[in-house]
């Protein structure tokens, strides 16, 4: 029992797919890349949400590619939250072996080099889309323009905070905090939206956790708990603001 009075709808978006493998997953078992882990966690998250009485659906249920800008459109008027699931990777360098842990993003301009790195890495998926011409500057302008129309900034930031609080508890690499950056996949969202970097494929411990059935299940359960906490808070706020509407 979650205490939710309504039956809210959440859309879960397993990142990448099809000819876009996502990051290659340095320490994932052979033949597994980010797109597979995202789909595994996404399916389990849908099940965990449904178990908690939430109407949950996926942007993709198979190994197929959806354009970045089409994904958030699966979360429409009757949908309370869009959740994109990804795996982080640290480029080769001094910090490669040590960087680990989970972080949750909402859409806003990046403030740190790490945030810019993650947004670049995820936005780079656009090169796998056949119909979308790659125009880095135009794309950046597109994101910045959308930022100004981001009426759900506060809700998205709060959802990120509540989800991050739960996943950091169960993650072997711990939490890296709530983050913000210009993700193309979130820029077309017209509802509250977050993106979870579930851990580093370039870290031995994180990669083993993410590739395991137990790890994926624990992550999905924790994310679902965070989402329930957000939805409960949102329901309470509506009840107060709406005066029992
Ligand atoms: Zn990704």
pLDDT at 136 over 90: no
Ligand 1 center–CA 233 separation, angstroms: 29
Q: Confidence class of residue 139 from pLDDT cuts 50, 70 and 90?
A: low
Structure tokens at 104: 């949750």
pLDDT at 212 over 70: yes
* CA 74 to the chain's CA centroid: 14
CB neighbours (10 Å) of residue 75?
24
Protein residues near ligand 1, an ion, with CB under 5 A: 15, 22, 86, 122
Ligand 1 center–CA 17 separation, angstroms: 10
Paired residues of 103 in beta bridges: 197
Give the pLDDT confidence score for residue 176 in this predicted structure: 97
Ligand 1 center–CA 243 separation, angstroms: 41
pLDDT at 245 over 50: no
Query: What value does the mean pLDDT take over residues 144-170?
Result: 87
Model confidence pLDDT, tens digit, residues 64-91? 999 999 999 999 999 999 999 999 999 9
Spatial distance between the Cα atoms of 241 and 245, rounded to a whole number of angstroms: 9
Identify whether the C-beta of residue 207 lies closer than 8 Å to the C-beta of residue 26: yes
Ligand 1 center–CA 194 separation, angstroms: 13
- Average pLDDT over the chain reads 92
Question: Within 13 A of 152's CA, how many CA atoms are on the CB side?
Answer: 21
């Amino acid at each position: 029992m979650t205490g939710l009075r309504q039956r809210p709808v959440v859309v879960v978006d397993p990142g990448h797919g099809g000819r876009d493998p996502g990051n290659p997953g340095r320490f994932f078992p052979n033949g597994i890349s980010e797109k597979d882990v995202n789909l595994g966690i996404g399916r389990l998250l849908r099940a965990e949400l449904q178990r908690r009485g939430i109407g949950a659906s996926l942007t993709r249920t198979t190994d197929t590619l959806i354009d970045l800008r089409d994904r958030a459109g699966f979360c429409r008027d009757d949908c309370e939250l869009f959740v994109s699931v990804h795996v982080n990777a640290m480029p080769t360098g001094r910090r490669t072996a040590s960087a680990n842990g989970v972080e949750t993003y909402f859409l806003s301009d990046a403030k740190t080099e790490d945030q810019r790195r993650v947004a670049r890495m995820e936005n780079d998926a656009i090169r796998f889309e056949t119909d979308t011409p790659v125009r880095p500057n135009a794309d950046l302008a597109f994101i910045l323009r959308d930022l100004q129309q981001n009426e759900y900034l506060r809700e998205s930031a709060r959802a990120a905070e509540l989800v991050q609080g739960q996943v950091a508890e169960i993650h072997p690499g711990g939490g890296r905090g709530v983050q913000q950056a210009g993700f193309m996949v979130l820029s077309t969202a017209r509802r509250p939206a977050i993106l979870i970097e579930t851990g580093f494929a370039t870290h031995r411990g994180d990669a083993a956790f993410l590739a395991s059935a137990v790890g994926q299940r624990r992550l999905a359960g924790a994310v679902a708990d965070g989402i329930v906490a957000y939805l409960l808070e949102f329901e309470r706020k509506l009840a107060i603001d709406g005066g029992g509407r």
